[in-house]
Amino acid sequence: MDLLLTKNPIINSLHANCINDYTSKYFETATQLNIATGFISNESIAELRRLIEYRKHTLNLSLFIGMNYIDGFTKLQYDAVKELGEKLIKNDLGNVYVSPKAMFHGKMYSFLKDGECLGAFVGSSNLGSFIGTSQNLIESDVFFEADSGMGIHNRIIEITNILGESISDAKPIENFKEPTTALLDGFEYVEKLNREETAQCLLKGSQNVVRIPLKTEDKSNLNAYFGAGKVKGRFSKRDYYEVEIIISTKIPNRSLLPNKEDGNFTVITNDGYKFECARQGDYGKNFRSAHDLKILGRWIKGQMENAGALKLGDKVTEETLRKFGKSSLVLTQSVDKDFWILTLE
């Protein structure tokens, strides 16, 4: 047994292992992953789907979602988990279950290989934290190895059998949670301005404008998530909302933007978020949010999702942009040159 803590500089002195110290190898070797969790996030759904695809039909998944059926799904989430369940059933790889009877808020996970338990986890980590897509939360979990984890595994199965119903058999949901328009609330490195502050900033726009077309390459730009994993040769976290926008040398007014040698610069979005961006790569061709690539991606893709133009976990295509009705990232320099106003057009 091992008490696990999230890797965070604030608690490095505790010298604790984290979930990823164990799961990184189990994602490669397990033949069965069992999950009983409370809530699911957009990112965790996309990442589970990517894990199943990465394992090429050699990993069976049982996913029990204990809170969302009663507490509420967004339509985006509901459609995505239904699609995942249908895919698992079709390929004889497991199923997705929900809880119509009671709200289950536990967080339990087990990995098996050929019927033997590799390890099991119980603790505070919701699915996003477990699979590595959450914000900067400090979680605490207990790890049980081999035979000692089999009891946890059995409990997951029992809980799923008692409380769970296949999402394909459960009464269809008709009333959904409204999708959040506060796309970056809770993100580290992001400041939310009030309405008055936002309005004052937007009034400071100058004539210096740079329009960057949104590109739909398969594995870069808005679709960086679909590129190679961050660790070559094995499954490693790629956040669905990570993006890096390529700034072509042919873009008018490109030279107005700060160079990568100038360091980070401040942007303020038309919906009142303030964060830092930067240019990276050869000749500063990559435009990205500083500190966390998810910030810019969540702001762009979240708007596409809310507009019904992008399904959770899907690639951004030309058809996505057509449905969205916007195809450019627009940066307008403030008259005092202290920040850039960020919009989509």
Q: What is the 3-state secondary structure (H, E, C) of 128-139?
A: HHHHCCCCCCCC
What mean pLDDT, rounded, does the chain reach?
Answer: 93
- Rounded CA separation 162/8 (Å): 37
β-partners of residue 276 are 266
pLDDT for position 9:
81
Tokens of 19: 């979930």
Asked whether the beta carbons of 265 and 276 are under 8 A apart, the reply is yes
Q: What's the pTM value of the predicted model, to 2 decimals?
A: 0.88
Q: Is 151 helix (H, G, I), strand (E, B) or coil?
A: helix
CA 161 from chain centre, in angstroms, equals: 29
Of 27-41, 233-247, 318-332, the range with the lowest mean pLDDT is 233-247
pLDDT at 329 over 90: yes
pLDDT at 236 over 90: no
Tokens of 255: 């030279």
Using CA of residue 242, residue 247, residue 253, residue 259, what is the dihedral sign? Answer: positive
Within the chain, where are the H helices?
Answer: 20-29, 42-54, 68-71, 75-90, 127-131, 147-163, 195-202, 294-306, 318-324
pLDDT at 227 over 90: no
DSSP assignments along 271-301, one per residue:
TSEEEEEEEESGGG-EEEESS-THHHHHHHH
pLDDT for position 7:
84
Rg of the chain over Cα atoms, rounded to whole angstroms, equals 22
- Rounded CA separation 23/129 (Å): 12
Buried b (16+ CB within 10 A) or exposed e, 289-306: bbbbbbbbbbbbbbbbbb
Using CA of residue 127, residue 129, residue 130, residue 131, what is the dihedral sign? Answer: positive
- Other residues' Cβ atoms within 10 Å of the Cβ of residue 38: 18
Q: Could you give the angle at the alpha carbon of 62 between the alpha carbons of 51 and 101, nearest 5°?
A: 135
pLDDT for position 273:
98
- Rounded CA separation 180/177 (Å): 9
pLDDT at 233 over 80: no
- pLDDT > 90 fraction of the chain, expressed in percent and rounded: 79
* 13 burial level (CB within 10 Å; 0-12, 13-18, 19+): exposed
Residue written as tokens 């507009």?
Answer: 307
Asked whether the beta carbons of 128 and 44 are under 8 A apart, the reply is yes
Residue 141 φ then ψ, to 5°: -140, 160
Tokens of 188: 């580290």
pLDDT at 73 over 80: yes
Q: Which of 120, 86, 126, 83 is nearest to 106 (CA)?
A: 126
- Which tens digits make up the pLDDT trace of 151-175? 999 999 999 999 999 999 999 999 9
- Rounded CA separation 277/189 (Å): 11
Tokens of 314: 């899907």
- Rounded CA separation 272/48 (Å): 32
